[in-house]
Chains A and B, each alone.
Chain A
Amino acid sequence: MRRAVLIAIPYVWLLALFLVPFFIVLKISLSDTALAIPPYTPTLDLSAGWAGIKDFFSQLDLENYVWLTEDDLYWKAYLSSVKIALISTFFTLLVGYPIAYGMARAPQEWRPTLMMLVILPFWTSFLIRVYAWMGILSNEGYLNQILLWTGIISTPLTILNTSTAVYIGIVYTYLPFMILPIYSALERMDGSLIEAAEDLGCSRLQAFWLVTIPLSKPGIIAGCFLVMIPVIGEFVIPSLLGGSGTLMIGKVLWEEFFSNRDWPVASAVAIVLLLILVIPIVLFQRNQQKQAEAEG
């Protein structure tokens, strides 16, 4: 009895506030837009009994999904989100790997401090970390001031409100997610393996390429998924650092809902975004399971 109650409380909570809302989104994505409150039809009329239910289902259609394929804004936004996610994940790896490597090779007594220095930004507000770059990258910003002062450039660079700023923002805010898994893979690595490779005639670079990289592969894969999956649906970074040229689906969904008040289309955008995300999420899950089995 006690066990049943213990199971039921979190179960019912998640059913009511996670699963049911998801089905509401699915339902509204199949409805028609209306100039009313709520701005969609049909609404389920249970008082009409079976006829009401039948009526409700007969009015659902795929119109909004057809609309998504017809207006090229949407598929361009999906493609560009995936592209931005892939490119920024690559850059995050490029920046994060040397840091993780340096941490794993640092003297033992430094490591907890270095680890905390990586985690600290993660606890700091995401919004503030994105905002910090607005002052740096704007036309009168600190970066342009330094570049102008040193004479590297003669006219200010336009970085803020471009895709470059979005890439910088993503690399900056998601860096801890990349560093931590790679660091934990590198830290477990047996240093004598490198020595063995060098004794057997590898150059340092070869040893790094043939031994260190393959052994840190699980960390690299985990880090890449942890960065890529959330970036696809990112909203804050493109809306603060990006311009009109940076299309990302999270921002499109937001505007569809808050500015255009087209709830059915916003819901359809959400459902398609979920379908796109299922692929990397399933791959990630599989990879983690394989990893757990290999270790266990």
Chain B
Amino acid sequence: MNRLSWFNTVSLTLGFAFLYIPMIILIIFSFNESKLVTVWAGFSTKWYGELLQNEAFLDAAWVTIRVAVFSSTLATILGTAAAYVLVRSGRFFGRTLFSGMIYAPLVMPEVITGLSLLLLFIGIGLDRGILTIVLAHTTFSMCFVSVVVSSRLITFDRSLEEAALDLGCSPAQAFRLVTLPIIAPAVISGWLLAFTLSLDDLVIASFTSGPSATTLPIKIFSAVRLGVSPEINALSTIMIAVVTVGVIAASLVTKRAMVRQRQDELAAARTE
């Protein structure tokens, strides 16, 4: 069936309109001259200008980016190690508990994760700030990374690793030269996922941050509680633009990698 029936055309059009119209409205009204967000009063970029002069937002953005970079990098390392352990290490003491601890945070309500970590930090007397947010974000995003990476490790052909070992590689070398390049796309998408989860998180950050460190979502949330504002529209537009460019770039890169891989396979098939 190559042509869409009218029913499918209608449902796709309505569906995507529902998904995108709210964000399009938000973007359009970020260029609104008027302070009254629901009345159009002409085109202006003044809210972007005001946003760039708003120290509090800029500080929060800087904190958020630092937290996201640190926590996603740590989460990628820990999550990849955890995936490797789950897929490759066979049986060891407490394996069930370990896999339980990997999967439980994925479905744990954020309010509970946030509350429990805050109580821990207070219990051990750790001052709340950037460090505590990084620890909290690393903990829940490493589980997402490990799910992404382990799904790649499962489909991975182990004989390649064994061949490297037979040819004289040490286990560390085999991992670095054979395993890592093959699972790299999954590791990178795990990192991206951890990064966006950290950028996006409001609830866990609210529990684990102190007065010294406010992240952008916390800032947005407290501003938004008072109602819709053109500055927040401008900020949202910037964030949507960054994510859109990022996602499209990532998908183009993976597509090109897939095409190249297919060409390599074809070339290999020809030489045989």
Binding site for B on A (CB under 8 A): 2-3, 6-7, 9-11, 13-15, 17-22, 24-25, 28, 38, 95, 98-99, 101-103, 105-107, 114, 116-121, 123-129, 131-136, 138, 140-142, 145, 172, 175, 191, 229-230, 232-236, 239-240, 250, 253-254, 257, 263, 266-267, 270, 273-274, 277, 281
Contacts and interface: CB of A to CB of B under 8 A. Distances in A.
A123 B94 CA distance: 35
Contacts of B240: 124, 128
A250 B135 CA distance: 22
Interface in B70-91: 78-79, 81-82, 84-85, 89
A102 B26 contact: no
Contacts of A9: 78, 81
Band of interface residues on B? 35 or more
Contacts of A141: 38
Interface of B: 1-5, 7-9, 11-12, 15-16, 18-20, 22-23, 25-26, 29, 37-38, 78-79, 81-82, 84-85, 89, 92, 94, 97-98, 101-102, 104-105, 107-112, 115-117, 119-120, 122-123, 135-136, 138-139, 142, 146, 171-172, 196, 199-200, 202-203, 207, 217, 220-221, 224-225, 227-228, 232-233, 236, 239-240, 243-244, 246-248, 251
B29 A230 contact: no
Given A7-B92, A95-B18, A119-B247, A19 B38 contact: no
B29 A236 contact: no
Given A25-B119, A125-B217, A125-B239, A120 B247 contact: yes
15 contacts: A7-B85, A7-B92, A13-B139, A14-B98, A17-B135, A18-B101, A24-B119, A25-B116, A99-B16, A107-B4, A117-B20, A128-B26, A131-B236, A254-B111, A257-B115
Contacts of B12: 99, 102-103, 106, 114
Given A7-B89, A105-B1, A254-B111, A133 B11 contact: no
B38 A229 contact: no
B11 A117 contact: no
B119 A230 contact: no
B78 A133 contact: no
Contacts, number: 222
A234 B172 CA distance: 43
B22 A133 contact: yes
Most chain A CB within a 10 A radius of its CB, from B11, B101, B109, B232: B109
Given A24-B123, A235-B203, A229 B115 contact: no
A28 B82 CA distance: 30
Contacts of B247: 116, 119-120, 123
Contact of A135 (B38, B102, B117): B38
Contact of B11 (A99, A253, A267): A99
B111 A235 contact: yes
Contacts of A121: 19-20, 23
B120 to A, nearest CB: 4
Most chain A CB within a 10 A radius of its CB, from B111, B217, B228: B111
Nearest to B94: A11
Contacts of A232: 109
3 closest residue pairs by CB, A with B = A233-B109, A99-B15, A21-B116
A142 B25 contact: yes
A112 B245 CA distance: 17
A164 to B, nearest CB: 15
Contact of A281 (B107, B225, B228): B107
B11 A132 contact: no
Most chain B CB within a 10 A radius of its CB, from A117, A134, A263: A134
Contacts of B228: 131, 134-135, 138
A120 B247 CA distance: 7
A10 to B, nearest CB: 4
Given A10-B79, A13-B78, A18-B105, 8 more contacts: A2-B171, A7-B89, A7-B98, A102-B11, A127-B220, A138-B38, A191-B1, A235-B203
Contacts of A14: 82, 98, 101-102, 139
A6 B26 CA distance: 47
A28 B203 CA distance: 20
A17 B117 contact: yes
Contact of A105 (B4, B19, B122, B243): B4
A171 B201 CA distance: 20
B4 A106 contact: yes
A24 B116 contact: yes
B150 to A, nearest CB: 12
B109 A230 contact: yes
Contacts of A281: 107
A270 B113 CA distance: 9
